[in-house]
Structure 1
Amino acid sequence: MATDVVDLILADHRRFEELFRALRDRGSDRSTLLGELAALLIAHAEAEESEVYPALKRYKEVDDDEVDHGAEEHAEGHQALLALMEISDTESEEWEGKLEELVEALNHHIDEEERTILNGAREQVAEERRAELGEKFLEIRQDRIDDDCGDLEYVRKVAHATADRID
Structure 2
Amino acid sequence: MASDAVTLITNDHRIMEQLFERLRSGTGDRQLLLDECAARLTAHSHAEEQKVYPVLAELDPQAQEEAHHGADEHHEAERLLHDLQRISPQGPQFEDRLEDFIAAVRRHQEHEETAMLPKLHASLTPEQLTQMGSAFEEVRIAELAVAGIRV
Q: Same fold (TM over 0.5)?
A: yes
1:76-155 matches, cutoff 5 A: 76-87=76-87, 89-148=88-147
Q: Which runs of 5+ in 1 are unaligned?
A: 151-167
Q: CA deviation at 1:104?
A: 0.8
Shift of 1:60: 2.9
Residue type at the aligned position of 1:40: R
Task: Find the aligned partners of 1:145 and 1:79 in 2 and give their Cα distance.
Answer: 19
Equivalents in 2 of 1:61, 1:117: separation in Å?
A: 13
TM-score (norm 1): 0.83
Tell me the distance in 1 between the aligned counterparts of 2:84 and 2:139: 25
1:39 corresponds to: 39
Instruction: Measure the CA separation in 1 of the matches of 2:52 and 2:112.
Output: 12
CA 1:149–1:69 in 2, change beyond 3 Å: closer, same or farther? farther
Q: 1:49 corresponds to which residue?
A: 49
CA distance in structure 2 between the aligned counterparts of 1:127 and 1:36, rounded to whole angstroms? 31
> CA separation in 1, counterparts of 2:79 and 2:32?
19
- In structure 1, distance between residues paired with 2:61 and 2:8: 21
Q: Do the aligned residues in 1 keep the contact of 2:2 with 2:134 (CA within 8 Å)?
A: no
| Cα distance, 1:26 vs structure 2 | 1.6
The structural deviation recorded for 1:113 is 1.1
SS at match of 1:12: helix
1:149, CA displacement in angstroms?
8.4
Q: CA deviation at 1:28?
A: 2.4
SS of residue matched to 1:63: helix
Normalising by structure 2, we get a TM-score of: 0.92
Moved more, 77-86 or 28-37: 28-37
Hey, what's the Cα distance between the residues in 1 that align with 2:37 and 2:124? 29
**Alpha-carbon deviations, 1:104-162, whole Å to 9, x = none?**
11011111111110011111111111111111111101111122289xxxxxxxxxxxx
Q: Letter of the 2:102 partner, please give it.
A: V
Bigger drift between 13-22 and 61-70 goes to: 61-70
CA RMSD after TM alignment: 1.7
Q: Can you give the 5+ residue segments of structure 2 that lack an aligned partner in the other structure?
A: none
Query: Which stretches of structure 1, 4 residues or longer, exceed 2 Å deviation after superposition?
Result: none
Distance (Å, rounded) in 1 between the aligned partners of 2:2 and 2:133: 8
